[in-house]
Structure 1
Amino acid sequence: MTHEEAAGPAARPSSLDFGYELLLRMVAISCLVFGVGYWVRLLGFFEGPHWRFDLMPMYWQATAVPLAVLFPFAAIGLWALASWGPVVWVLCASMEAVMYAGFPHLYGDRPWLVLFHALVAVLYIALRAAFALRSRKAH
């Protein structure tokens, strides 16, 4: 008898676990894209108003720099399924929601982005609630 056979059947992740991992990894990819977008804006790869750090107004500089750093950091945490990944994502999503929903006259109007962040937050909360119910049933 091999060691694997003696250990018993391998624990298979549930569909809830799979859904949670899939959500976090999809959000990680979007965070990486958003982060690269902010870096492109900061470095000035494209022509246009406010497409380079030294030409940006102070309010764009104050938001673009932290988001350019935090979004890739959130992507790493989410991809690695680390507990701090969603926390960093919440910081980024909250900042963008305040920017685009609270100050559209400064940052522009991007309701689809605010809606995306809200949808991800609802899905995340629903999955965490499902984990809590599963844990409660197990005990």
Structure 2
Amino acid sequence: MSDIEIDREGQPYGIYLLWFMRGVGVIWLAKGIIHWCLILGIGHADPARFLELPVLTQSAVIFFAVFDLVAAVGLWMASAWGGVIWLIAAGAHFAILVFKPEIFGRQYALMATITVLIFVYVALAYLAARVK
């Protein structure tokens, strides 16, 4: 099932962590699908548009199209590796937004969202582990 043990007598931080991971998993699944839509030209994206992007941007889009979906599956399963893969994916996206804004642009709302999600995840994981 999942790597999270639920303490029925204490605070339900394990339950909070489980549902947080599943919620973020759904968001990260949508994020990965958006990258695939850009690659495949689905929706308003034109397939030729992806080929006209700079090679660095194409590489980042392909990386996140794959990595975000793997992270989403791991988060949904609430496995330890899912949290680690998600932290790597979120950290990589944050780093690209900060240090290479020419790839995706300077998206302050996304940077703030990723920061908040990482802090909430770390806090819930700490609290869930501490209760045991």
Measured against the shorter chain, the TM-score band is 0.7 to 0.9
The one-letter code sitting in structure 2 at the alignment partner of 1:98 is A
Q: Quote the Cα distance in structure 2 between the aligned partners of 1:25 and 1:60.
A: 29
Contact map agreement 1:36 1:68 (CA 8 A) in 2: yes
Alignment match, 1:20: 17
Residue 32 of structure 2 corresponds to 35
1:107 Cα offset (Å): 2.0
Q: Determine the structure 2 residue equivalent to 1:131.
A: 128
Tell me the number of residue pairs that the alignment of Structure 1 and Structure 2 aligns: 124
TM-score by length of 1: 0.79
Give how far 1:47 is off: 4.3
* 8 Å CA contact 2:64, 2:89 repeated in 1: yes
**Map of 2:90 onto structure 1:** 93
CA-CA distance at 1:92 after TM superposition: 1.2
Match of 2:115 in 1: 118
- The alignment's C-alpha RMSD in Å is 2.1
1:12 is displaced (CA, Å) by 3.8
Deviation at 1:115, TM superposition (A): 1.1
Distance of 1:76 and 1:120 partners within structure 2: 17
Higher RCO by CA contacts (8 Å cutoff, separation 6 or greater): 2
User: After TM superposition, which residue ranges in structure 1, 4 or more long, deviate above 3 angstroms?
Assistant: 11-14
Structure 1 position 109, deviation (Å): 1.4
Distance in 1 of aligned mates of 2:114 and 2:21: 13
Percent identical among aligned pairs is 24
CA distance in 2, matches of 1:107, 1:113: 11
User: In the aligned structure 2, how far is the partner of 1:22 from the partner of 1:73?
Assistant: 18
Gaps of 5+ in 1: 1-10
